[in-house]
Amino acid sequence: MNYLIETIGCQMNVCESDWLGSVLSTYGMSKVSSLSDADIVILNTCSVRYQAEQKAFSYLGRAEEFRRQNPEIKIVVTGCMAERLGLKIKQRFKSVDLVVGAKDIDITALKIIDLCNIDAEKQEELDTHSDIVRYITIMRGCDNYCSYCVVPFVRGRETSLDAEIIVKKCSLFVKNGAKEIMLLGQNVNSYQYNDVNFTSLIKKISTINGLERIRFMTNHPKDLGDDLVSVMATEPKVCSHIHLPMQSASNKILKAMDRKYTYEHYLELINKLRNVITDVSITTDIIVGFPGETESDFEETLKAVKDIRFGGSYVFRYSPRPNTKASELVDDVPLEEKKSRHAIILKESNKISVEIVAAMVGSVQQVLAERFENSVIEARTRGGRKVFVKDGTGKDLGKHLNVVIKEAKINSLFGNIA
Ligand code: 5AD
Ligand code: SF4
């Protein structure tokens, strides 16, 4: 039996799809990438922005059309939109067989197995996945209730997973060939399980022999303590990249967003990180057009983008989400204005990214070889930039390589082994 997983949304979803896929493989199911090869289609959805839900609806429309010609195919919807809308999805798309919300992700695999009439006893050996990079969710949910955000409503309260189990899972990943582990959570740096906080968890994971790199995502500036900055500076396995969503640089807007920090505090964190981690790459999320954002609030954010020079920025137009505090505010920035602010920030941040990567041409970067496809090694720098190495071989997979950067594009670098 073949399954196709289509994932919309954040790294958490990518991780959960990855996990779901590995469980389904233990029941003898095979992953395919085209609808025409699939017996079951799983759509892992996102609710963070209006557009993400529209994307899911249009995918479901196409899947339904496909199902008309192939009535035996099964359709499953999981993730945040499944949690938020539940059975309403089935009312709108009659051919959806199963809806399982994000909070029930743990039982999704079993429900799918049941739907496909596979004997649950037939499970084969667990976790034989051999990717170089593995993802692991260490905490779920969010208690922050930023005023624009739907996540606390769909993902529920913040819960951290048992530290000992996390370390055991990471060891198993490494035993099966992983060299890099990405720790995931809505706010990884708020992790707390009994007396283990995020920094002590990183320290425990870094003792695993054979593990080369640790990454994590995403962080809330309010919880970024000196202990995390210091472990990033001193533990060689921890990569020098941090995703630290700023959202806005206007204190008035940050307050209305309930972000619980000021721009000055945010800037202090940036300076601290850059002072102790020389090659640190800082990426961010920005929302434009939040209710009440004036031209001068926007100018403050634009100035911050120019001053801070992020390694990369994800820029979003504000969209009101159900149940959130901000959805009660008048959405007073006209769509055209939101679009224009979005384009201005994106243009500036792209210009900066191009300058940053152009300055890397000629330098030697230490990269980890993650994949070998079409005779090219796909690797990543410690700062998280993708590097394509043209003269590598399959034997380099999982190894650290020193690569001379020959060419730079905004989202990828190209080079040869030094
Ligand atoms: N509108 C626009 N962007 C949003 N984000 C979260 N909620 C909204 C919303 N209602 C953005 C934030 C967050 C990222 C994952 O998505 O920037 O950091
Ligand atoms: Fe949403 Fe804020 Fe929680 Fe991030 S910290 S998931 S933006 S509520």
pLDDT band for position 169 (50/70/90)? very high
Q: Is residue 406 classed as helix, strand or coil in its secondary structure?
A: strand
Q: Is the dihedral of CA 190, 146, 185, 87 positive or negative?
A: positive
Question: Is the pLDDT reported for residue 247 higher than 50?
Answer: yes
Closest protein CA for atom 1 of ligand 2: 149
Ligand 2 pocket mutation pick from 12, 143, 146, 318 by most atoms within 8 angstroms of CB:
146
pLDDT digits (tens, 9 = 90+) for 354-392: 999 999 999 999 999 998 888 899 999 999 999 999 998
**For residue 89, what is the enclosing H or E element?**
helix 88-92
Pocket of ligand 2 (CB under 6 A): 142, 144-146, 149, 151-152, 186-187, 220
Rounded distance between C-alpha atoms, residue 197 and residue 185, angstroms: 13
Q: Of the candidates 331, 336, 239, which has an alpha carbon nearest to the alpha carbon of residue 293?
A: 331
Q: Is the CB of 338 under 6 A from ligand 1?
A: no
Q: Is residue 122 classed as helix, strand or coil in its secondary structure?
A: helix
CA distances from 103 to 114, 182, 259 (A): 19, 21, 24
Q: 224 is written with which tokens?
A: 């970024």
Q: Is the CB of 372 under 6 A from ligand 1?
A: no
Q: What is the secondary structure of 243-272 as a DSSP string? A: E---B-S-HHHHHHTT-S--HHHHHHHHHH
Ligand in closest contact with the CA of 323: 1
Query: Which residues neighbour 299 within 8 Å (Cβ) at sequence distance 6 or greater?
Result: none
Is the separation of the CB atoms in 109 and 126 below 8 Å? no
pLDDT digits (tens, 9 = 90+) for 102-125: 888 778 888 888 888 876 665 544
Rounded distance between C-alpha atoms, residue 138 and residue 412, angstroms: 29
Q: Is the CB of 147 under 6 A from ligand 1?
A: no
Question: Is the pLDDT reported for residue 196 higher than 70?
Answer: yes
Q: How far is the CA of 104 from the centre of ligand 2 (A)?
A: 20
Q: How far is the CA of 37 from the centre of ligand 2 (A)?
A: 37
E strand intervals along 291-363: 312-317
pLDDT of the residue at 125: 47
Q: Is the CB of 319 under 6 A from ligand 1?
A: yes
pLDDT band for position 130 (50/70/90)? low
What is the dihedral angle through the alpha carbons of 192, 195, 196, 197, rounded to the nearest 10 degrees? 50
7 backbone dihedrals φ, ψ, rounded to 5° = -115, 130
What is the dihedral angle through the alpha carbons of 122, 126, 127, 129, rounded to the nearest 10 degrees? -40
Rounded distance between C-alpha atoms, residue 73 and residue 116, angstroms: 10
Neighbours of 323 (CB within 10 A): 12
Average pLDDT, the chain: 93
Is the separation of the CB atoms in 244 and 221 below 8 Å? yes
Tokens 């043209």 -> residue: 390
Question: Is the pLDDT reported for residue 330 higher than 90?
Answer: yes
Q: How far is the CA of 316 from the centre of ligand 1 (A)?
A: 7
Q: How far is the CA of 147 from the centre of ligand 2 (A)?
A: 9
pLDDT of the residue at 122: 57
Ligand in closest contact with the CA of 329: 1
**DSSP letter assigned to residue 283:** E
**What proportion of the chain, given as a percentage, has pLDDT over 70?**
97
Rounded distance between C-alpha atoms, residue 243 and residue 258, angstroms: 19
